[in-house]
Structure 1
Amino acid sequence: MKKWFALCMVIMLAAVLAACGGKTNNSPAEKGTNQEPAAKDVEIVFQSWITPNLTVEYYDNLIKKFESANPGIKVKRIQPPANEGNPDSYLKTLLASGDFPDVVQNATIQMFVDADALLEIPIDDDIKKINNYEAEMIDGKLYNISAIRQPQSLIFYNKKLFAEAGITSTPKSWAELEAAAEKLKAKNITPLLTAGDWTAGFTFSVMTSPTIYKDNKSWYADRFDNKVKFTDANWKEAASYYSGLIEKGYFNKGALSIDYTAVEQEFLKGKGAMYPMGSWFSAAEAVAQKDFEVGVFATPTKDGTQYLLGGENAGGYAVAKNSKNPEAALKFAKFMMLDPEAHKGYLQADALFSNLKEPLKWEMSPLQTEIYELLLNNPPMVGHMNNKVGRVPVAGIQDQYNKVAQNIMLGDMDVEKGMQSLDEYWDKHNK
């Protein structure tokens, strides 16, 4: 009887287990479905570069589009403090603290290559779509994804104020610019506008460098080899020209007390006749409400030879070498620069020009068309300030340009000491 009862219990238990699928838990694998546990989203941190043109909304909209197309990747956006010429100082702090972002934008690439912080970008079919990408390589390796041309040595001018001062043609030489400035000042019109922060150094560089670099397109490379110096006669003459514009009262009073965003608005409000700035300004001009037309001309040189400075394939996207998700980071960096809609939107937002082998075109304003024609009618650009002129300059040179420009404007430094300080900075930071 006991044996019969035990046998019945075994049969009943087997039936119950069979009804439950023969398992004692409910995990997907044990249900016989062969399902893998759902993969977690990966998160990458992106350091964005915010400007009046490239706004928070601009980046957030692109991030949403990327995340929608790549549901397994989440992008966390961060940004450096305002009023700096680039994010280098911010990124150096993050690197030192171990919080370097997965994707960085608009950084001085050489600086972070030297710090062994950036991932080498594979030269694949995507990269091969970019014109002259080889020029941005460092020791035969690519670290930055960019496909833009950005003329920078431009002077925008208020056509209405020029007419009021009786100026009928745009200046081509230093002497012609000074003559125009004198006519404007005689009409109580501020001839030139600049600002503090990085803007002063930028103004100093674009007002002087074209005269130097048009005759030596590898000046920075020669400086590394000690063939040239900032204290050479041609640089001191160019810096003296800049200093003379200040001494004659041609720049706006209190320039160093305002920043880039404010001086842009000063020009758009008609508070000054000429505004040295890069092509990105034309994006703000295209949507501004004003009662005058804006024109543009290449920054004058000593002898009147027209020559543009700017960036080619610079200011792009780089990936951290120690990213925990390098494939996702690289995918995002490529999307931001090379996705056709993102690329076209970037060009239009910041008034840039495509440097793809099959360039994408966008609807340009009349002013942007003028810039494009200047670009087409000039020799290939070289850089200035912290951009390549034969070679990328020593790290941080932009900050030294800023100090020299601001101190000369304040009257706290003469030209000789200013140019000497640039040489001293270079020699100290030349590794």
Structure 2
Amino acid sequence: MRKWLALGMTVSLAASLAACGTDNGNGGNAGNASASNPPATNSEGGGQAGNAENVEIVFQSWITPNLTAEYYDGLIERFESANPGIKVKRIQPPANEGSPDSYLKTLLASGDFPDVVQNATIQMFVDADALLEIPIDADIEQINNYEAEMIDGKLYNISAIRQPQSLVFYNKKLFAEAGIEATPKTWAELEAAAEKLKAQGITPLLTAGDWTSGFTFSVMTSPTVYKANKEWYADRYDNKVKFTDPDWMEAASYYAGLIEKGYFNKGALSIDYTAVEQEFLKGNGAMYPMGSWFSAAEATAAKDFEVGVFATPTKDGEQYVLGGENAGGYAVSKTSNHPEAAIQFAKFMMLDPEAHKGYLQADALFSNLKEPLKWDMSPLQSEIYELLLNNPPMVGHMNNKVGRVPVAGIQDQYNKVAQNLLLGELDVADGLQSLDDYWDKNNK
């Protein structure tokens, strides 16, 4: 979730709004060159989309600890230098948003939808008729499995990444102190490891409030359910499955048991994503369920221990890493006054070789181009890469696609369930029923 789920940086709404025009452009083809040398997007290229002069497009960026404002501004400067007729105005959602969706819905309602958006829930804005169809050209055809992100046979999102999310990072020093010689693969092995850690006065598992609580709940439970049914959300739309079915009940009960046994950090809901990351890097917890982007922060952190990684355990021990392929990318407004320039910028941000490689390295992602671009990986990132070698194609979880994209806003309901479980104020059956109730209410 880019990461698709992370904290933004505060910006006033008034300063963020920028008119993007109202005529319904058709987009056009931004060029037929290969992704390794897209037109007017590489660092040495030039030219202006449609020979336009003094064009300004508005870009909604997604700020995270790894993908900073400075990171985006540097890329924008390079794009503008190569394309002197195009100016890019960057905006960003307020802090503490779990995704840009609420922010973008506000801008859409006010008529100020940006020309280029990043990390949005694509289905939501396709349903709102807000996004432009991306032409399938030689650039797009360089992306593995881009067809899987199509909606009704049309592409609305430019992305070429793999982002594993159901990972558990662990402190090798604390594992050794507790006498844990092998990383857990099954639920039972994880509980046994947690008990050994707790007996040594070590906090076994770390999580936080905000979106992190729902994310942790999802990545610790969903792999067992979704490896058995990779179309689960699609089947939920057809009422073939429910959250209250035995498989989800068993997985959620296992997770609730970890809480009841005191394996999570006390006061987890009083800290946020940024804080819990630092807690782990300070050595204040042994295991940290999180997506691959954490390895970028780990690579530059000062610490006196090594970090390892394993796939989130499943009931039977069979590895299945959840995550995203070709999601969390760049989409273009259907009402942009400058659709060709917007597509050109979106392609640059994802497909320009230097920008693509920099994005992968900044957020610990893996290239999903047919000729993947490689970057210098840290030891921890190499461990993640090894996990992926034996992993089947990923599906999503939480607010990401599992056969289909879930109903809008399901992420917030996951968060509510997870937070109330952490507080000990919710029965598992009631929590899962609330997910079914939310789905049925919002299934339109």
Same fold (TM over 0.5): yes
SS at match of 1:246: helix
Q: 2:403 aligns with which of 376, 384, 390?
A: 390
2:27 paired residue number: none
- Superimposed CA distance per residue, residues 186-237 of structure 1 (whole angstroms, 9 cap, x where no aligned partner): 1110000001111001000000000100111111111011000000011011
Deviates most, 293-302 or 410-419: 410-419
> Residues of 2 paired with 1:128 and 1:365: CA distance?
30
Letter in 2 for 1:254: G
* C-alpha distance in 2 between matches for 1:43 and 1:66: 13
For the pair 1:242 / 2:255, whether they are aligned, the reply is yes
The question of 1:65 aligning with 2:78 is answered yes
- Indicate which of 55, 79, 92 corresponds to 1:79: 92
**Cα distance, 1:39 vs. partner?**
6.7
Give the aligned residue type for 1:196.
G
Please tell me the residue identity of whatever aligns with 2:392.
P
Contact 1:153/1:308 (<8 A) preserved = yes
**Unmatched 5+ residue regions in structure 2?**
1-50
Aligned to 2:228: 215
1:47 to 44, 54, 60: 60
Residues of 2 paired with 1:413 and 1:144: CA distance? 38
Corresponding residue to 1:88 among 101, 122, 125 = 101
> What is the TM-score with the length of structure 1 in the denominator?
0.90
1:326 matched to which residue of 2? Answer: 339
Query: Which whole-Å CA distance do the structure 1 matches of 2:180 and 2:164 have between them?
Result: 25
1:412 is displaced (CA, Å) by: 2.1
Q: CA deviation at 1:177?
A: 0.3
Q: Which residue of 1 aligns with 2:368?
A: 355
Mapped partners of 2:108, 2:89: distance in 1: 17
Deviations 1:354-401, CA, capped at 9 Å, x for gaps: 000000000000000000010011111111111111111111111111
For residues 339 and 207 of structure 2, the distance between their equivalents in structure 1, rounded to whole angstroms, comes to: 41
User: Looking at CA atoms only, which structure, 1 or 2, has the larger radius of gyration?
Assistant: 1
Could you tell which deviates more after superposition, 61-70 or 389-398? Answer: 389-398
Paired residue type of 2:163: Q
Task: Calculate percent identity across the aligned residue pairs.
Answer: 88
Deviation of residue 117 (structure 1)?
0.5
Q: 2 CA distance for matches of 1:161 and 1:69?
A: 50
How big is the shift at 1:425?
0.7
One-letter code of the match for 1:63?
A: I
CA-CA distance at 1:325 after TM superposition:
1.0
Conservation of the 8 A alpha-carbon contact between 1:50 and 1:79:
yes
**1:128-207 matches, cutoff 5 A:** 128-207=141-220
Is the contact between residue 42 and residue 74 of structure 1 (CA under 8 Å) also seen in structure 2? yes
Q: Output the CA distance in 1 between the equivalents of 2:330 and 2:169.
A: 29
Q: Superposed, which structure 2 residues align to 1:117-132 within 5 Å? A: 117-132=130-145
Q: How many residues align?
A: 394
Runs of 4+ in 1 over 3 A off after TM superposition: none
Contact 1:83 1:260 in 2 (8 A): no
The gaps in structure 1 that reach 5 residues or longer are 1-37
For residue 323 of structure 2, the aligned residue among 282, 300, 310 is: 310
Give, in angstroms, the shift of residue 305 of structure 1.
1.0
Deviation at 1:40, TM superposition (A): 4.4
CA distance in 1, matches of 2:278, 2:346: 32
TM-score between the two structures when normalised by the length of structure 2: 0.88
The residue identity in structure 2 corresponding to 1:95 is L
One of 390, 398, 402 as aligned partner of 2:415: 402
Please give the alpha-carbon distance, in whole angstroms, between the structure 2 residues aligned to 1:289 and 1:141: 46
| Match in the other structure for 1:116 | 129
Distance 1:84 1:281 in 2: 18
Measure the CA separation in 2 of the matches of 1:228 and 1:63: 45
Contact 2:396/2:402 (8 A) holds in 1: yes
Alignment RMSD (CA, Å): 0.9
1:85 CA drift (Å): 2.1
| Higher share of residues assigned helix | 1
What is the letter of the counterpart of residue 86 of structure 2? I
Match for residue 290 of structure 2 among 277, 282, 285: 277
CA distance in 2, matches of 1:184, 1:252: 12
How far apart in 1 are the matches of 2:53 and 2:333?
21
One-letter identity of the residue aligned with 2:210: D
Query: Following the alignment from structure 2 to structure 1, what is the Cα–Cα distance between the partners of residues 181 and 96?
Result: 36
CA distance in 2, matches of 1:321, 1:196: 36
Alignment of 1:332-343 (within 5 A): 332-343=345-356
Specify whether residues 373 and 39 from structure 1 end up closer, same or farther in structure 2 by C-alpha distance, changes over 3 A only. closer
Tell me, in whole angstroms, the C-alpha distance in 2 between the residues paired with 1:287 and 1:427. 44
Is residue 53–residue 86 contact of structure 2 (8 Å, CA) maintained in 1?
Answer: no
